[in-house]
Amino acid sequence: MDSKRPAQPTKKFWTPVRAALTVLMLSALAAFGAASCNSSEVANSSTRPTNVSGPTVKTNTQAGKSAPVSTVPVPVPQDVMNRQLTTIDGQSLKLSDLSGKVVVMNLWATWCGPCRIETPELVRLHQEYKLKGVEFLGITTMENDPDIENIRKFVHDQNVDYRTVYTEGSFVIPLVEGRNVIPQSFVITRDGRMLKHFVGFNPSQTPALMREAIDQALNGQS
């Protein structure tokens, strides 16, 4: 007599319902997720610009608001303005050389996913504003991207037509204010004051907010 029990049907984990819910969840994250990277590629949801006033930073995190609380921008530190920088094609410059122009600096790295998504938006903004007295600068650091050839290839492949600086991380420490994530962008007024600081990137919000900040700087508003 056979004492074996009838085989039980195997339960499948990926049922049609579970598969559909997973796809929906991933799609929502891709569409709405604001992200930034640290050295471990950890997502961060901070994408609102901040205004610097004195020694503190005020941030408006309410998505329904169009702009953060207005404050008086403070000057960019002189050691940052006068730091001798070198671009990936060997040009030398200092931020102080750009006095009289609005400057948009973007801190990024080749391995950062949100940075790669943001780059085409920055190229479009540069095309829009380059004849209006706005200078765009990409900033990459030796610590984040040790191989300059990878940077040059990325810049070429993405048709980045503004200058890209390759520098030591000590240059950006006074600017990032302890936020160990990328991308970060900075809008500097014609007279060398920090108007806006963007942390992370959200494709549905950041480009419009950055355009608003650039227009504000061009109009002499602070």
- pLDDT tens, position by position, 46-93: 444 544 332 222 233 333 333 333 467 899 999 999 999 999 999 999
Residue 31 has pLDDT above 80, yes or no: no
Length of the chain: 222
Buried b (16+ CB within 10 A) or exposed e, 141-152: beebbeeeeebe
Residue 16 has pLDDT above 90, yes or no: no
How many angstroms separate the CA atoms of 82 and 94, rounded? 6
CA distances from 58 to 71, 144, 215 (A): 9, 27, 21
Domains of the chain, residue spans: 16-218
Fold of 16-218: Glutaredoxin (3.40.30)
